[in-house]
Structure 1
Amino acid sequence: MAELASLSDAVAELVHDGDVVAMEGFTHLIPVAAGHEIIRQGRRDLTLVRMTPDIIYDQLIGAGCARKLVFSWGGNPGVGSLHRFRDAVQHGWPVPLEIEEHSHAGMANRYVAGASGLPFAVLRGYVGTDLPNVTDTIKPITCPFTGETLTAVPAINPDVAIVHAQRADRAGNVQLWGLVGVQKEAVLAARRSLVTVEEVVDELEPVPDGVVLPSWVVDRVAEVPGGAHPSYAHGYSERDNAYYAAWDAISRDRAEFERWVERVKSGEAVRT
């Protein structure tokens, strides 16, 4: 059952060195504040999982938190490359980074399999691509009914899933709406979960197309207003496009990036 906690306490309790950590949110509701708290607490050797790693994973990789990235696309949306990610892969700075690349459909189906208690997912999407040649977790499988050759990918069951949402009630039931990705599936697939929210309320009001994560699938809820910045939280904040543009310059230069990390570790609310 979910318990309310501070962000620092929740990360300290749930995220450990060597963990497989999934931080999901598709353009919207990205748990950036939680990522910064992981940097502050100096977690190491993490396997980071995310369908679309953007600047929060660039920051975690550059801060030396990660040893592996499992993903389906990586970039600074609307701007360009993830320079800390590239530096880690190409030059091993600050530590070498192993990568495991999938398609969007493959990653989504891996989460669904994990949430469903299944060992793997089956799909057609990899046929005709080069990904099976470079990714060991993509294997051919023969349909027992038609004989068709399909592709199997293993379930993802993270040690901890972290997502951001708009609201939670005091019992720990979580409500999110707007543009959502695989937050529900990631939480259901994970062994432990943390949800940061814009606010904790006495009662959740119905919202069209809203998703509710019941308290019994969530371990900790932390009230973190603005916790998705620079991404947006529908109904609460807008996307800070200037931040994404500013990040390109910061992340290109190791020294400038290290100064940024020190600001985060000092507890400064970094807005650029």
Structure 2
Amino acid sequence: MAEIVSLPDAVADLVHDGDVVALEGFTHLIPVAAGQEIIRQRRRDLTLVRMTPDIVYDQMIGAGCARKLIFSWGGNPGVGSLHRFRDAVQHAWPVPLELEEHSHAGMANRYVAGASGLPFAVLRGYRGTDLPAHTATIKPITCPFTGEQLVAVPALNPDVTIVHAQRADRAGNVQMWGITGVQKEAVLAARRSLVTVEEVVAELEPRPGAVVLPTWAVTRVAEVPRGAHPSYAQDYYERDNDYYQAWDPISRDRDAFTRWLDEHVFAGAASPQPAVSAGGGPGASTPTNAGSTS
């Protein structure tokens, strides 16, 4: 049964040095506030898992949280590269970063296998690519019924999965809607899970197309308004495109990034920054820690 706690308490309880940690959310409901809380608590040697690592993983990698990344695409959506990610791969700063690269289909099927209690998933999607030559967790397999050559990928069972959702009730049942990606599968595949939500309500109202994670499938729930910022939460707030633009020059420079960490993440432990503040140019916003830390 899920317990409703503060975000700092949830991260302290669930995320440990050396863990395999998945933060999922596909353009929408990305758990940015939780990722920044992991930075604040100075977790180290994490294996980070995510279908589409974007700026929150750039921040975590640059802060020295990660030793390995399991992923299928990485970038600052609509802007360009992840420069803290590139620096870790190319120059081992602040620590070396090991990579395990898959396709979107491969990652999604790995979560499904993990959620289903299966050891691996089978798909055709890697045929014609060179990923099997570079990724040890992609193996050829022969169909025992047809003889077709396919590919197997091992199940993903993170130590902890973290996702963001619109709301939960007081019993810890979670409701999310809009683009939900692989959040459900990633939670069900994990040994422990944390869901940050925009609000905790007395009762969940039925909503067409919504995904409900029952309380028995979730370990902790934390109420974190704007916890997905700068990504968006449907019916709560829109995507902050200025934040993504402003992140590019910050992430390019180690000193600028270090200052940003000190001012907007570590300082946020005592005094949360506003979600958006005036940035370095007309219409720009300075990336700050998202959501409440209490």
- Tell me the secondary structure at the aligned position of residue 13 of structure 1: helix
1:224 matched to 2:224? The reply is yes
Equivalent position of 1:24 in the other structure = 24
What letter is aligned with 1:209?
A: G
Structural RMSD (CA): 0.6
Could you tell me how far apart the structure 2 residues matched to 1:76 and 1:206 are?
35
Alignment partner, residue 137 of structure 1? 137
What is residue 168 of structure 1 aligned with on the other side?
Answer: 168
> What are the Cα deviations for residues 182-203 of structure 1, in whole angstroms up to 9, with x where unaligned?
0000000000000000000000
Does residue 189 of structure 2 align to residue 189 of structure 1? yes
* 2:256 paired with 1:259: no
Task: Provide the residue aligned with 1:41 in structure 2.
Answer: 41
The percentage of aligned residue pairs carrying the same residue is 82
CA distance in 2, matches of 1:231, 1:200: 20
- Post-superposition offset of 1:207: 1.2
User: Match for residue 247 of structure 2?
Assistant: 247
1:113 corresponds in structure 2 to 113
Q: 2: CA distance between counterparts of 1:40 and 1:211?
A: 30
Three-state SS of the structure 1 residue aligned to 2:194 is strand
The AA in structure 2 aligned to 1:133 is A
Deviates more, 1:257-266 or 1:67-76: 257-266
Q: 2:206 matched to which residue of 1?
A: 206
Query: How many Å separate the matches in 2 of 1:239 and 1:205?
Result: 25
**AA aligned opposite 1:13:** D
Runs of 5+ in structure 1 lacking a partner?
none
Partner of 2:225, secondary structure, is coil
Instruction: Please give the TM-score of this superposition, normalised by the length of structure 1.
Output: 0.99
**What letter corresponds to residue 131 of structure 1 in structure 2?**
L
Letter in 2 for 1:223: E
Where does residue 67 of structure 1 map in the other structure? 67
DSSP 3-state at the match of 1:266 = helix
Question: Matched residues in 2 for 1:57 and 1:134: separation?
Answer: 22
| Equivalent-residue separation in structure 2 for 1:171 and 1:105 (angstroms) | 34
Supply the distance in 2 between the matched residues of 1:259 and 1:135 (Cα, whole angstroms): 35
CA distance in structure 1 between the partners assigned to 2:235 and 2:179 by the alignment: 11
Deviations 1:140-173 (A, max 9, x none): 0000000011000000000000000000000000
Structure 2 unaligned blocks of 5 or more: 277-285, 287-294
TM-score between both structures, scaled by the size of structure 2: 0.92
The one-letter amino acid of 1:25's match is: G
Q: CA deviation at 1:71?
A: 0.1
Q: Equivalent residue for 2:88?
A: 88
Cα deviation per residue 1:92-121 (whole Å; 9 max; x = unaligned)? Answer: 000000000000000000000000000000
The Cα offsets for residues 29-56 of structure 1, whole Å up to 9 and x where unpaired, read as 0000000100000000000000000000
Q: Distance in 2 between matches of 1:36 and 1:56?
A: 7
Report deviation, 1:180.
1.1
